[in-house]
């Protein structure tokens, strides 16, 4: 029993160290992904249309708009998302 608890403690310690060491890398990857997806909101390709439909439903549920720069992320496609971009706060 003691050996099992010791192994769990060591695994948690290792996970904490790895999480702290790679925090900046994961943050950079998240920002990169958000910016790439924000570009898709302004496009009119079939792949972009799928993301736009998902974002419209997400924006409606969370009462927010856009991914990075708010309504500006939608570009010329803003008219399609106008109803879902009604946010209580700016």
23-48 per-residue burial string, b: 16 or more CB within 10 A, e: under 16: eeeeeeeeeeeeeebbebbeeeeeeb
Mean pLDDT of 25-31: 85
Has this prediction a pTM greater than 0.85? no
> Quick check: 27 pLDDT over 90?
no
Per-residue pLDDT band for 13 (boundaries 50, 70, 90) equals very high
pLDDT digits (tens, 9 = 90+) for 37-89: 888 888 888 888 888 999 999 888 888 888 888 888 898 888 888 888 877 66
């Amino acid at each position: 029993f003691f050996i099992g608890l010791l192994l769990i403690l060591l695994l948690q310690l290792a996970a904490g160290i790895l999480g702290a060491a790679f925090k900046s890398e994961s943050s950079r990857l998240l920002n990169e992904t958000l910016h790439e997806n924000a570009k898709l909101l302004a496009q009119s390709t079939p792949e972009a249309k799928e993301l736009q439909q998902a974002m419209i439903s997400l924006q409606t549920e969370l009462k927010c708009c856009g991914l990075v720069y708010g309504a500006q992320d939608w570009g010329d496609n803003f008219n399609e998302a106008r109803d879902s971009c009604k946010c209580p706060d700016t």
